[in-house]
A and B are shown apart, each in its own frame.
Chain A
Amino acid sequence: MSILINQDTRLLVQGITGRDGSFHTRQMIEYGTRVVAGVTPGKGGRTFEGAVPVFDTVADAVAAARPNVSVIYVPAALAASAIFEAADAGIPLVVCITEGLPVLDMTRVMPFLRERGTRLIGPNCPGLISPGQSKVGIIPGNICVPGSVGVVSRSGTLTYEIIHQLTGHGLGQSSCVGIGGDPIIGTNFIDCLRAFEADPATDAVVMIGEIGGTDEQQAAEFVRAHMKKPVVGFIAGQTAPPGRRMGHAGAIISGASGTAADKMAALEAAGIAVMKRPADVVPLLQERR
């Protein structure tokens, strides 16, 4: 088992013929993901590398290939439109890899998704992987192995670093989810923690947060009140200066709120083992399991 994606995932790629879209579609197929369709307006009727049918619209792709997950690799200016289109076509899970979506676009996207019951992961995220089953996005498949640790993170390469530590010490993963580094994201820590708590294949969770906002504090409260499985946490940005965006649009300390110290204290108060550095993940997990 796993959360969100598994061997039954039928994937649609929006922006399949673009530079990033085509590269990562190849990687996902190589990993074993069932990519059933692609969309690039104006290129309907072709096939991607002789294997994946390409459609002009998401609605056409849904009618012909019945995807249940869509992944978006279109440029930032078109990404909100691509999310709207996927939700309108009834796709229940949409993963937006694209970075640089205006936050005001997201204020309009979110109510639209809620009305249609579509879950969004991202934007500005590396996607997710259920090792050995399916990979949707850009997380390198070769660093993951199947196992029972769930990983949820606001980051990309920092997540790879932590997965790399886990895999290096024989701790496989049930699912790894990159929820994205933007101020408004479709799926937050709590959504993933709840799913991991309910997933019989997961027996411990690693959550990787960073400065900015209060998602980690709310997640800590959720862990305290609702989780039995052990959780290990990391917060990036202890040395970040206030008022500056640290690469991710959402990674900013505003006034006195959103600091790493606050978040680490909230995690600890909720009984979450807090790593001081990425290499602590393995010993802390081994202590708790």
Chain B
Amino acid sequence: MNLHEYQAREILRKHGIPVPEGAVAASPAEARAIAQRLGGTVVVKAQVHAGGRGKAGGVKLAQTPDDAETVAGRILGMRIKGLVVDKVLVVPAAEIATESYVGFIVDRASQRPVLMVSAAGGVDIEEVAAQTPEKIHRLTVDPRYGLLPHQAQALAFQLYREIGPVRQAADIMRRLYETVYAVGASLVEINPLVTTPDGKVQALDAKIVIDDNELERHPDIAALRDASSEAPSEVQARQAGLTFIKLEGSVGCCVNGAGLAMATMDLVKYYGGEPANFLDIGGSSNPEKVVNALRIITADPSVKAILFNIFGGITRCDDVANGIVQATTAFPLKVPMVIRLTGTNEKEALAILAKAGYSAGTDMDQAVQAAVARAQGRAA
């Protein structure tokens, strides 16, 4: 789960990392009041889950409170990469002496948190990594001992020469490491970490991504979720306990298990079709889940055929069959459906479906070919 900049700032502030003053506004009038309170020139920043906000016109300077109101009025409601801006962050336009990058990721290969710093901050760090990797310094942290003071200090010396900012930056890195574990983050970034002309080190912009598996134990963080940035069908699916990702094609896929769901999408493509979605109904075989899955898939007008691919293990094929019958009785389908199921209670499932007037097969390739044909308006 991605957090907005204003949410990430607040988390850093709570963990003792200096961030500039500022506040979030949902209306031009609120932006004006914040600018008034801050005094001087301010920056008005769109709060959306998209990179490249500045280039898209979502970050603007404002000299006066009146300006701030006008600028906020233009940014609020703007679309950046398809996402509507409904909040702006208003912060003082601080003078900046230097810009650096500090970030933590959990590294898959070493299975440990890795701290990355670069004196080339304020720009896209992935570009720095691609073009001038020597400008990024990495440290793999041993989670048994955490980030040790001398390690943080050595990395801070990669950013600054003076001991004053080095000490401040080292302290920020240690607090940032603690923040990772405190909130359950899979990524935290300060970009840029700035020094002001009077020698203060501050986090000017921040990004935090929370591991979805942590949300249950951090209800306060889970409450920060902004569902407005997600496709409504994905929100609906999450609430129903399904994993659903909307794609652009016409074959609606309903599969049990993530790997098989991906392989099914790939096979749709292999036979010349395009998958409309990734959908994993999970390991449980609750017919209700199947009903919800069908409701979500059929709500997408680009879906021209529905494909079920079920390999019964823990999932019982008869439960899935019952779900299909329940769902299609409650709201009859307007598009053709192809069903493949095999494994646990396959015979019972085929009988349930036959009674309801549906035919089903047990071969994955045949089913996918038939679904692609039907989606393209051909006979299966």
A and B: real partners?
yes
**A binding-site residues for B, Cβ under 8 Å:** 76-77, 100-104, 106-108, 110-111, 126, 138-140, 143, 153-161, 164, 181, 183-184, 208, 210-211, 213-215, 234, 236-241, 244-251, 255, 260, 276-279
Q: Determine if B84 is an interface residue (Cβ-Cβ < 8 Å).
A: no
Contacts A184-B108, A246-B278: A107 and B143 contacting too (C-beta < 8 A)? yes
> What's the least CB distance linking B194 to chain A, in Å?
25
Does any Cβ of A come within 8 Å of B343's Cβ?
Answer: yes
Cβ of B22 within 8 Å of any chain A Cβ, yes or no, is no
State the B residues within 8 Å of A (CB). 106, 108-109, 111-113, 126, 142-144, 180-181, 184, 186, 211-214, 216-217, 243, 245, 247, 255-263, 265-270, 275, 278, 280, 283, 311-315, 342-344, 364-365
CB of B297, distance to nearest CB on chain A (Å): 16
**Are A236 and B106 in contact, with the CB atoms below 8 A?**
no
Give chain B nearest CB distance to A234 CB in angstroms. 8
Contact A183 B106, CB 8 Å, known A157-B313, A158-B259, A279-B365: yes
Q: Is the CB of A247 within 8 A of B109?
A: no
Structural contact, A155 and B142, CB atoms closer than 8 A: no
How distant is the Cα of A61 from the Cα of B350 in the complex, in angstroms?
A: 44
The CA of A100 and the CA of B255, in the complex, are separated in Å by 19
Residue numbers in A under 8 Å from B256 (CB-CB): 157
Q: In the complex, what residues of B have CB within 8 A of residue A240's CB?
A: 262, 265, 278
Q: Using a Cβ cutoff of 8 Å, how many contacts connect chains A and B? A: 157
* CB <8 Å contact, A155 and B260: yes
Q: Say yes or no: B262 contacts A211, CB within 8 Å.
A: yes
With a cutoff of 8 Å between Cβ atoms, the chain B residues found around residue A111 in the complex are 142-144
Q: How many angstroms from the CA of A103 to the CA of B265 in the assembled complex?
A: 27
Q: Which B residues touch A234, using CB under 8 A?
A: 263
Tell me, rounded to whole Å, the shortest Cβ–Cβ distance linking A28 to chain B.
13
Q: Complex formed: what's the CA distance from A255 to B130 in Å?
A: 11
**A237 and B364 form a contact (CB under 8 A):** no
On whether the beta carbons of A277 and B260 are closer than 8 Å, the reply is: no
Contact (Cβ within 8 A) B106 A104: yes
Specify which of A77, A154, A157, A260 is in contact with B216 (CB 8 Å cutoff): A77
Please name all residues of chain A whose beta carbon is closer than 8 Å to the beta carbon of B142 when the two chains form the complex. Answer: 111
Verify A181–B111 contact, CB threshold 8 A. no
Q: B111 touches which one: A106, A160, A161, A260 (CB < 8 A)? A: A106
